[in-house]
Structure 1
């Protein structure tokens, strides 16, 4: 998956130079964003779901330096106090892969949402490896800079000088879960529920979710939007129906009477670039900017990445229908797993690569491939 839009007023970045002065921040920092300049050492290819490998590489870095934090980040029940972006660069499709040219510069972002992760990033920068390895691609870490300024949740609560409209731009495909399905629209309640979950988990300044979201539903006015829908493969299995683009919103005059919730509204807007929007943000989805960013027309690269998501959705529907008599969550998970494996095999990916990403034995992936092909053949 790659980013689908970027700010139109963004200035060209200077040529990267080897890491010299490392970023630092105060010990009480809870939120910070880092951007890495990476250089491809050789011409090579990336598979379209390379963000799985980025995710795994970062977690392995955590495991090596802080096993306790690593165990917490692997806890499937908790909100994740970090997120990552996809690689930002011109990645051209070659067949069913994305092509990297030797000496090509790419940009990658990692954001911390808790004091513990911010502390880890500070330590990590002093022991940063020279390269980032993504299967067949080796990227040299050239430079690290602060992309989002270090701050705290209490500082986010400081009110703005003026209560004005705000912009939210969704740089990478963004989606929510609603009643068991993907919901690809930035409805204010869904937006601010997404931000409030992170706030309540990591800020130590908890807020009543029901009361605040009722107020959001009554108070937020959407002034403008420019959105495009997109289907992508995301995370380890399955596909996501999401959106990219921008919206402008604000509060009604009556809403300003509730000063506590008004203050929180603007704090959560400032939180959005750090935490991202929606789900699967640790795999590059939901990257968010406070600038107005027009959605870009589908590039050849985006068409390639969309193709996998669309194929996974198509196969998931077939396998779910064939297994519908058994029903339940297990049916949905098996159908999504079969669909993901078969679609990626159709894209030319190896059994070993898929097995590593799904954290499954190669023999199991091979068996699932055979079962999925047999099931598809029976379908017609």
Structure 2
């Protein structure tokens, strides 16, 4: 199961929205723990990729100017899941907070120094809001096509970790490596693409061949980007937002199909560094004729 949805919430007091990404990460694990404590502990402790992402909408991004949550105003956070068990644990907890919504009695949840009321959850696709969708790995495989390229909108800041530095630009090789790694970790066994060892072992010749070809042949043909800084308390991370247009027409059909599939998967998987704490959410934009 793949789920991408938007959760609306209402703060109970006016407070600075410092470290929103970190606080929402804690809220999500807390909600999962209410129904499956062992799963929440496992998600917290795992050091590799995780089967969920959290994206902050523009009004929640802590940039150079302090962001303020206003009492009574409705805000949105985007959450995605790559695993049915995690999604179901979240949904069960969500019902407790939203199914009997009233302005006076709905349960509150702690978000940093604030208390917030969880309002609505939307995870159904429609033509006007492609940000929300519930689907399966099988359906993505059926929908992918051997395209010649695509346009990708980077909605929440995208950054990669290179050694001890952050790299705040959409490098195609790093983007596809990130998506491949998550697909190979969370897709059903019979749908794996055979790239797990390639992604986890830098010295594997199969990986070198694949990533080298991406690096050499997948071109950014156009872009419109700017950088945004996210506040994580003790440190700041800079990432890029905007859009890029990728071209991979030189590849054979089976590789062009793979690239299209992974870009579609990226809408759920997130990309790069801190995708579980606000960064790296992307969406494929259909090219205009």
TM-score by length of 2: 0.79
Q: 1:91, 1:100 within 8 Å by CA — same for their partners in 2?
A: no
- Which of residues 55, 74, 93 is equivalent to 1:105? 74
Greater Rg over alpha carbons, structure? 1
- Which of residues 206, 215, 222 is equivalent to 2:213? 215
Tell me the residue number matched to 1:183: 167
- Which of residues 88, 91, 94 is equivalent to 1:122? 91
Please identify which structure carries the higher helix content.
Answer: 1
Tell me the residue number matched to 2:7: 36
1:240 CA displacement: 2.1
Give the superposed CA RMSD.
Answer: 2.7
Determine whether 1:143 maps to 2:128: no
Tell me the residue number matched to 2:48: 78
Deviations 1:39-81 (A, max 9, x none): 2334x11242122111111111111210221122012422111
Please identify which structure carries the higher strand content.
Answer: 2
Separation of aligned partners in 2, 1:96 and 1:168: 27
Deviations 1:295-345 (A, max 9, x none): xxxxxxxxxxxxxxxxxxxxxxxxxxxxxxxxxxxxxxxxxxxxxxxxxxx
Q: 1:46, 1:136 within 8 Å by CA — same for their partners in 2?
A: no
Tell me the residue number matched to 2:251: 255
1:245 CA displacement: 1.5
Separation of aligned partners in 2, 1:159 and 1:276: 19
Q: 1:89, 1:105 within 8 Å by CA — same for their partners in 2?
A: no
Tell me the residue number matched to 1:165: 149
Separation of aligned partners in 1, 2:22 and 2:62: 19
Determine whether 1:288 maps to 2:271: no
Q: 1:158, 1:263 within 8 Å by CA — same for their partners in 2?
A: no
- Unaligned 5+ runs, structure 2: 99-106, 124-130, 199-206
Moved more, 270-279 or 177-186: 177-186
Separation of aligned partners in 1, 2:89 and 2:75: 23
- Unaligned 5+ runs, structure 1: 1-29, 293-380
Instruction: Report the CA distance shift for 1:171/1:47 in structure 2 as closer, same or farther (over 3 A).
Output: same
